[in-house]
């Protein structure tokens, strides 16, 4: 899984790896928490490469009797069998040297819980390579176009030219000891997960 690069972008906030039957979603942007972005990681045994999108009317959470234009709108696939693997929270964001910085506060003990959950589900090859799977997902978080949309919409973030996602030293150490990956130090409190230019 070290060199895997199989996520497909279904929307600005939704990535899937159909072979692993995994989806990553940027979910609620919580203004009540001063701008925290929720990120959820799912496993869906019904996900297939030939069925990445379905009409809204076929979604398990669809509201009945909506207008045809809405009912027929294609949305990312999900089923009633979908299970959440773990969840992260990035933010509140700050701007530093024209960089919009979103930090996650997860510590190693939280990742240990995620690892045990993934292993307990006995999903192969994910469960037997849980730390590598977590790293694979994390490295793809920077790809979401939704980050660019958020930065352009939040007044305090306007003017930022680059995006950075950071994780705690504890989080980084957990991954490093299990996968051999390394992360650059960002600050006294954080390591750099990924960075890129923002799209205008």
pTM: 0.91
Report helix, strand or coil for 135.
helix
Distance CA 111, CA 115 (A): 6
Q: 70 in a domain, yes or no? A: no
Residue 135 lies in a domain: yes
Would you say residue 110 has pLDDT above 70? yes
| Ranges of H-type helices in 95-168 | 108-121, 130-138, 146-153
The domain total for the chain is 1
What proportion of the chain, given as a percentage, has pLDDT over 90? Answer: 69
Q: 67: which residues sit within 8 A by CB, 6+ positions away? A: none
Evaluate whether residue 72 is within a structural domain: no
**Each residue's pLDDT tens digit, 156-177:** 788 899 999 999 999 999 999 9
Taken in order 93, 95, 99, 103, is the CA torsion positive or negative? negative
Is 55 part of any domain? no
- Hey, how many other C-beta atoms are within 10 angstroms of the C-beta on 200? 6
Q: Is residue 172 part of a domain?
A: yes
Q: Does residue 74 sit within a domain? A: no
Grouping H, G, I as helix, E, B as strand and the rest as coil, residue 143 is: helix
**Residues 6 or more apart whose Cβ sits within 8 Å of residue 169:** 185, 189, 190, 191
Cα angle value 50/52/72 (rounded, 5°): 110
Cα gap 181→37, rounded to integer Å: 25
Distance CA 55, CA 70 (A): 9
Give the distance, in angstroms, between the CA of residue 118 and the centroid of all CA atoms in the same chain: 16
H or E, element range at 181: none
- Domain enclosing residue 21, as ranges: 8-45+81-197
Asked if pLDDT for residue 34 goes beyond 80, the answer is no
Q: Is residue 54 part of a domain?
A: no
Q: Is residue 191 part of a domain?
A: yes
Joined tokens for residue 52: 């990445």
pLDDT above 80 for 33: no
């Amino acid at each position: 899984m070290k060199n895997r690069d199989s996520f497909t972008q279904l929307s600005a906030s939704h990535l899937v790896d159909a072979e692993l039957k995994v989806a990553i979603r940027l979910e609620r942007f919580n203004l009540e928490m001063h701008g925290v972005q929720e990120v959820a990681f799912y496993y869906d045994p019904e996900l297939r490469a030939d069925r990445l999108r379905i009409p809204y009317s076929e979604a398990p959470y669809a509201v009945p009797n909506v207008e045809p234009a809405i009912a027929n709108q294609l949305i990312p696939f999900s089923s009633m069998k979908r299970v959440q693997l773990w969840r992260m929270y990035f933010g509140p964001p700050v701007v530093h040297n024209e960089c919009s910085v979103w930090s996650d506060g997860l510590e190693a003990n939280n990742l240990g819980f995620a690892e045990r959950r993934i292993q307990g589900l006995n999903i192969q090859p994910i469960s037997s390579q849980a730390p590598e799977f977590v790293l694979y997902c994390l490295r793809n978080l920077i790809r979401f176009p939704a980050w660019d949309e958020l930065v352009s919409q939040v007044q305090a973030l306007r003017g930022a030219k680059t995006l950075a996602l950071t994780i705690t030293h504890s989080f980084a150490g957990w991954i490093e000891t299990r996968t051999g990956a390394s992360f650059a130090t960002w600050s006294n409190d954080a390591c750099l997960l990924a960075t890129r230019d923002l799209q205008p």
